[in-house]
Structure 1
Amino acid sequence: MRAVRLSVVTAAATVAALTAVTGCTEKGSSGDGDGVITVTATDDKCEVSKTEVAAGSVELAVENKGSKVTEVYILFPDDRVVTERENIGPGTKQRVTAEVKAGDYQIACKPGMKGKGIRQDIKVTGGSTAQRDPRLDKAVAAYREYAQTQADETLPKVETFVKAVKDGDMEAAKAAYAPSRIGWERTEPVAESFGDIDPKVDLREDGLEDGQDLEKDWTGWHRLERSLWKDKKLTDRDKELADQLVKDLADWQNRVGKAEITPTSMANGAKELLDEVATGKVTGEEERYSHTDLVDFKANVEGAETSYELLKPVAQENDAALTTELDKQFAALNTLLDKYRADNTSYDFTSYDKVGEADRKELSDAVNALAEPLSKLAAAVVK
């Protein structure tokens, strides 16, 4: 997870009265199509071109005119995430496609990638008349099963990690730490869609909000990572946090089956996983104490590739050039990662502090080469 995680909104709607939201203003139609909402983000505003759209495929055309990196989300009223796009740099534009049903939503811009963001209420009306390709329904069902399997397989590994922590066995806990995170990293966008679980289990130290206490409010894997590798000791507080980690991940396991999953959320989630790699793993910030970043890196890529492969039959039919490029870039990135592990099936990766700057640059370039075409996958599956 990057420093902070927040739900954002995209939507459209039967313009009911616009709820006043500081810094959000409504603009006239952009003329970019009935299903397109233009979002102009600055350091203190989140302007949208319309607050009402029809149900079905909706596209956010986002431009960051501010000086800070921003994020844009489409959110349900309870802050669950419909879709998101992170790390939108100053002066850049991105387009995000999502599927939305009739109802109330919010579009949120998050300058600086912290806080609740600047939000605009929107309404989605009517019902989509388009019939979804049955192959996409099959892809969603298969991905839902995959996500549940990853959660089910994670809990026993976390329990092994937690037992070692509670036993005070430092070496056993270190050995169990990275394997306990693989299933989570493969399917993190699903967990993040709930809004409340990710900050409990995967928050980094610099992700705490203003006013939060480091010892009281920081929980989860990375808090225990710091105790194991930096503090080099396990306290009674660590043992309490270990028990809490199991409870929080059991909550995740129980909720995976209720997640809102669509073909576009799968495609956007694949892109989010590559963003996770670019902003946390390649930089070495994610596992700053254990240096197990390449384990997370590989799991993120595997999760993204699983979504892609499930959506590929439809995407290939709609945009063969795109799938050809994605096949090429996934293969290139996987080949590059294989250089850093003991064999092609193990998760025994080189400690990331042993990876030099030139090699990190090579990994970063390969991630970026894949992320660019992957950002177009959602649009390809709803053509």
Structure 2
Amino acid sequence: MRALRSSAAAAVAVIAAFTAVSGCAKKSDAKDSEAVKVTATDDACEVSKTSFPAGHVTLAIENKGSKVTEVYVYAPDDRIVTERENIGPGTKADITATIKAGSYEIACKPGMKGDGIRQKITVTGGGAQKKSDPELDKAVAEYRRYVQEQADESVAAAQKFADAVTSGDLDAAKKAYASSRTGWERTEPVAESFGDIDPKVDVREDGLEKDQKWTGWHRLEKSLWQDQKITDEDKALAGQLMKDLEDWRKRVGTAELTPTGMANGAKELLDEVYRNKITGEEERYSHTDLDDFAANVEGAEKAYGLLKPVAARHDAALVQELDKQFDAVKKALDGYREGDGFKAYDTVGQDDRKKLSDVVNALSEPLSKLAAAVAK
């Protein structure tokens, strides 16, 4: 979930207490002559090139501002082409992405909120076309099937949740809540790429834009756990949630998927864990954060697993490290399993949260290099 608006400073403060924010953004490895440099400050977003060839593009980002920032590439319809979040002050990060010819905007978002400071760019069709890799084509095709399967399964699981809300069954709705979100959390970067669906179904109250009506999972979560009741409005919201999720299910097959996009999406899922789940921001009423955490990791590992054969050819050491760190994260999560799910996150102490933060950070750093390995 992309909502980190009015609580951005508070969330970042919590993250900083666990580990340095710069852990999510490492030293740039991009060659100066090849990369498009993006220099972000608190009031500017400078781009070294406003026109460059289509194909594999590396954005070498440096945050010279005082606030944590994020950088996006937007298509004309505000669809997210690629992104990188949690770039701390004084740190650098690279994004390797496959971008087609066309007009786009690069946005820097100081404080990780708002529409960002935007620069128009043009991607020309003059770049050398790299020969298609059958293994990567297969990976994309299999990932597309996986994303569609997760959407189909999510709609079915969410219907059970919505039916419980509509019938006024508080206990049944609570039991169905976490599992209704699993498929969404596994494939969230794809869902978010459409731009308009995420704010309807997965926004938190502090993430609302001016005059935006609060709908979706977290609005119902508040009713179920904080208010401890289901109103007629909640029943209507459950119906709206299903309409919005059905829209997502129908559209997900049209998402533009690329190998680098899959790799960057895996990194984004780890950022979701680091930014929202570790802090307890995501499921602040239900405390089902660990269920979301596990789904994010599962989705990231799926994308990585499909890209692994190609990444292993190009960077065997990276693959070895990723295997090790994925195993460490899963082992850490296993310690909090309870029945078919996980312990309530409000029962997890600060020391244990710090340990979880550390293993996520240890995976996030090498995972940020996957897109570059795939693009070689």
Question: After TM superposition, is the score higher than 0.5?
Answer: yes
Q: How far apart, in 1, do the equivalents of 2:230 and 2:114 lie?
A: 31
Which residue does 2:82 correspond to in 1? 83
| RMSD over aligned Cα atoms | 1.3
Contact between 1:2 and 1:279, CA under 8 Å: does it hold in 2? no
Q: Where do 5+ consecutive residues of structure 2 fail to align?
A: 6-29
Which residue does 2:141 correspond to in 1? 141
Which residue does 1:355 correspond to in 2? 348
Tell me the amino acid that sits aligned with residue 99 of structure 1: T
Contact between 1:2 and 1:280, CA under 8 Å: does it hold in 2? no
Q: How far apart, in 2, do the equivalents of 1:128 and 1:77 lie?
A: 24
Structure 1 residue 206: Cα displacement? 1.1
Which residue does 2:263 correspond to in 1? 267
Tell me the amino acid that sits aligned with residue 129 of structure 2: T
Tell me the amino acid that sits aligned with residue 131 of structure 2: Q
Which of the residues 250, 253, 258 maps onto 2:249?
253
Whether 1:169 aligns to 2:169 is yes
Structure 1 residue 316: Cα displacement? 0.5
Tell me the amino acid that sits aligned with residue 70 of structure 1: T
Whether 1:375 aligns to 2:374 is no
Which of the residues 301, 310, 316 maps onto 1:314?
310
Q: Where do 5+ consecutive residues of structure 1 fail to align?
A: 6-29
Structure 1 residue 47: Cα displacement? 0.4
Partner of 1:178: helix, strand, or coil? Answer: helix
Q: How far apart, in 2, do the equivalents of 1:314 and 1:205 lie?
A: 41
Q: Which moved more, 1:127-136 or 1:156-165?
A: 127-136
Which residue does 2:21 correspond to in 1? none
Tell me the amino acid that sits aligned with residue 273 of structure 1: L
Q: How far apart, in 2, do the equivalents of 1:180 and 1:77 lie?
A: 32
Mapping of residues 186-335 of structure 1, within 5 Å: 186-209=186-209, 211-212=210-211, 217-335=213-331
> What percent identity do the matched residue pairs reach?
70
Q: How far apart, in 1, do the equivalents of 2:223 and 2:326 lie?
A: 35
Q: How far apart, in 2, do the equivalents of 1:88 and 1:205 lie?
A: 24
Tell me the amino acid that sits aligned with residue 123 of structure 2: V
Partner of 2:262: helix, strand, or coil? Answer: helix
Which residue does 1:96 correspond to in 2? 95
Contact between 1:57 and 1:99, CA under 8 Å: does it hold in 2? yes
Partner of 1:288: helix, strand, or coil? Answer: coil
CA 1:58–1:362: 2 relative to 1, 3 Å: same
Can you list the C-alpha shifts for 1:182-218, whole angstroms capped at 9, x where unaligned?
0000000000110110111000111112x335xxx11
Which residue does 1:153 correspond to in 2? 153
Can you list the C-alpha shifts for 1:326-372, whole angstroms capped at 9, x where unaligned?
000000110110111136xx3x1111111111111000000000000
Partner of 2:284: helix, strand, or coil? Answer: coil
Q: How far apart, in 1, do the equivalents of 2:31 and 2:291 lie?
A: 45
Structure 1 residue 236: Cα displacement? 1.3
Q: How far apart, in 1, do the equivalents of 2:2 and 2:250 lie?
A: 24
TM-score by length of 2: 0.91
Tell me the amino acid that sits aligned with residue 367 of structure 1: V
Q: How far apart, in 2, do the equivalents of 1:156 and 1:49 lie?
A: 47
Q: How far apart, in 1, do the equivalents of 2:162 and 2:235 lie?
A: 8
Tell me the amino acid that sits aligned with residue 3 of structure 2: A
Which residue does 1:123 correspond to in 2? 122
Can you list the C-alpha shifts for 1:236-274, whole angstroms capped at 9, x where unaligned?
111111111000000000011100100000000000000
Tell me the amino acid that sits aligned with residue 379 of structure 1: A
CA 1:31–1:285: 2 relative to 1, 3 Å: closer
Structure 1 residue 3: Cα displacement? 2.5
TM-score by length of 1: 0.90
Tell me the amino acid that sits aligned with residue 119 of structure 1: R
Structure 1 residue 31: Cα displacement? 7.9
Q: How far apart, in 1, do the equivalents of 2:358 and 2:2 lie?
A: 19
Can you list the C-alpha shifts for 1:165-187, whole angstroms capped at 9, x where unaligned?
11111000000000000000000
Structure 1 residue 150: Cα displacement? 0.1
Number of residue pairs matched by the alignment: 351
